[in-house]
Amino acid sequence: MRFVGRGGMGEVWEARDHVIGRSVAVKLLPSQRGDSAGSERFFREARTAGALHHPGVVTVHDLGQDASDGSLFLVMEFLQGRDLGTLLLNDGVPPVDLAVAWAAQAAAALAAAHEAGVVHRDVKPANLMLTPAGRLVIVDFGIARFVEATNKSSKVMGTLAYMPPERFDGQPGDGRSDLYSLGCVLSELLTGQVPFRAGTPIAMMNAHVGRPPARPGETRRGIPAALDDLVVALLAKDPRDRPATAREVQQRLSTLATSNPVLTEPDLGAGRLAALPPATGIAQDAALHPAPHAPDRAVVGVRPPRGGAPGSGPYRTGDAAPETEGGDQDGAARDPEDGSPNQATSRRRFLRLAAGAVVTAGAGIGIATAVSRDRNRWPFHASGDVMDGAPVVADGVVYVGIGRTLYALDAISGARKWASSFSGGVSAISAIAGGTLYAASSDGSLYAVDAATGAVQWAYDTGGAIYRSVPVVADGVVYVGSSDLHLHAVDAARGNERWTYLVGGTQTLSPVVVDEVAFITADMPGVGLHAVDVASGTRKWVYPDTDRKFAASAAVADGVLYLGDGGGHFHAIDIASGTNTWESDLGPRAYFSTATVAEGVAYAGSDENGILYAINTATGVEKWAVALEPIQPGNTGCTPAVATGVVYAGTTKNFYAIDAVTGAKKWTFSADDTTSYGSPAVVNGVVYVGGGDDGNLYALDAATGRELT
């Protein structure tokens, strides 16, 4: 144990969790003895904030109250790094593109919090931690509101330079208040000073309320006009005049940061940041912009860098060891019956025992757990968690992501071989390449996982949640789309970024890689299907130039891409030229699943009309259409599988086997506790299919539809 320091929100101690083998941060807040309402408010705020799972939000492992003196405590991940306030003070202003990248990460984290109903209320440089790997993490979610309620004067004085005008009017504020504070931070990163400088607190408040902000470009040359406009919009006096959401801010910043592909070679030595120019010093107002301090840093081992080996010096990435901790257990310092904090541990005793008592999972990478092979026969059940992606079967093992855990199961018995847990949901997994499978997660990371042991080899942070993009491996590179609106090319062996390509839209879908070209689209009208050269990360062509929306990825066969749009049209596109080979109108408006092509036929389901189509790939003529129930659109949810002349497809109610030639139903499977079926995998006469909403993975006889037991 080690005392880290003391700040406006209490003491911070570093402790050691000997069970998992990691450092944790223990934050001790002011005593609430005799104030049951204050304690309840703390638990409510901390639990709400602790439910957030995002790479840019500090992870809360546990919380409780000292029975001896009433002190409240939080156990959090321990972060190596510096807050932006310290960084600005010591290194000066960063290059413009780096400031934009940091602000985009902060906006992404705020977006995740706001969408979960959590407002930070104290966004400032001292609460923005930058790890040696370049990951920006927001700390103290939920604590600011609690401290404000118990010690308002400290709260006001500590954050006056970043406080939105509506707070001075006594309004609680919402997510747009956080955006104003983020605008203050971004302005400071760009210019070296907060937007408003004043000699007294009253003058500072008056400036926030009545003085128009200066454009950063008036202070520093080289700032794009669009970035100036965004800062001014964030600093609007009326919340209604600011950007509506943090997600919008993230997208605008991402567009500014990546208007052109960013190429990163696998071996860059000190990394991309090494070539950045030295920063200049800045002046600080000690009264209204106090020097940053270390005590309020709470939090985890860092992720590997995105691009090459770490460097040193101002605005370089430092040495970073990859995380190896994780898991998904319940905290040992918590009452198993009602989840309330254990009251038997005193504050000092807790500091002595914290390392051994806390076993709750932290951020990022999970820990693989070996399990006996004589349990968990079919169906495999994972505690009611949601299963998003399709299973992968290889060498007698079924790999499947359910909830936040990746499982390896014996393909015959269903017995669990290992499990590896993550901070976000496992949304999709790739086929195995070189003994490694690649898992995409809603926490925004792409993980390389040893298929034999479940050990995580590396993690790559895409900067946005991954929901509907299945990783694809080709020639030693992994390709995956992210909600940061980009296609990412990542070195399969080391996890280094090769390049990123801006697709746009709202949710980038699964890529397809053929003949050194990656094809990708996004779930938004007008984005189109992009062809990207895999060597350079540059665009070859986009199809079409109309306002079409493709809700699923393309399938490819014999030099042609096949996919449906939201208007009931199905397209065949030449991969070399991006021209339309044919387009079929299949009737009512419907979004199609990703198609499966076999024997000259494309099989695709539609969501709204619940029809499974068989389409001749040479002519676009419909061969047959069978009415089922509505089908979830998307490339990770309902892509049909074809094997030995049979099409296997799931709907929101049943799972079907359908004759591939005639469209006749061969058998139907339905489980009592499942109301949605995902994409199947068919191997050696067995169909493996997940119940998307109940955490079950079923093994069915492909010929009869009977469950294996």
CA 320 to CA 132: how far, in whole Å?
A: 6
Asked if 446 and 459 touch (Cβ cutoff 8 Å), the reply is: yes
* Token pair 């310290």: residue: 86
- Which uninterrupted H or E stretch holds 603? strand 601-605
**If we measure between CA atoms, which residue out of 50, 51, 48 comes closest to residue 27?**
50
Asked if 431 and 470 touch (Cβ cutoff 8 Å), the reply is: no
Give the angle subtended at the CA of 30 by the CAs of 287 and 164, to the nearest 5°. 45
Sequence-distant (6+) residues with CB within 8 A of 15 are 1, 2, 23, 24, 25, 26, 75, 351, 354, 355
CA dihedral 303, 385, 678, 702 (to 10 degrees): 110
**If we measure between CA atoms, which residue out of 361, 363, 365 comes closest to residue 456?**
365
User: Tell me, what amino acid is at 333?
Assistant: A
Asked if 620 and 601 touch (Cβ cutoff 8 Å), the reply is: no
Which tokens belong to 549? Answer: 């929306």
Which tokens belong to 164? Answer: 């939105």
CA 244 to CA 250: how far, in whole Å?
A: 11
Sequence-distant (6+) residues with CB within 8 A of 86 are 126, 292, 294
- The per-type count for the chain, helices as H runs and strands as E runs, is 11, 42
Whether the link from the prior residue into 544 is cis, omega within 30° of 0, is yes
CA 527 to CA 505: how far, in whole Å?
A: 6
Which tokens belong to 294? Answer: 């270390």
- Active-site hit among 122, 443, 461, 523: 122
Please give the full DSSP string across 240-280, using - where no structure is assigned: GGS-S-HHHHHHHHHHHHTSS-EE--S--TT-GGGGSPPPP
461 is catalytic: no
CA 455 to CA 325: how far, in whole Å?
A: 10
Distances from the Cα of 698 to the Cα of 289, 470, 546, 691, 707, angstroms:
59, 21, 42, 8, 7
Which tokens belong to 562? Answer: 């096949």
End-to-end CA distance of the chain: 50
Asked if 44 and 315 touch (Cβ cutoff 8 Å), the reply is: no
Which burial class, exposed, middle or buried, applies to 346 when counting CB atoms under 10 A from its CB (0-12, 13-18, 19+)?
middle
Catalytic residues: 122
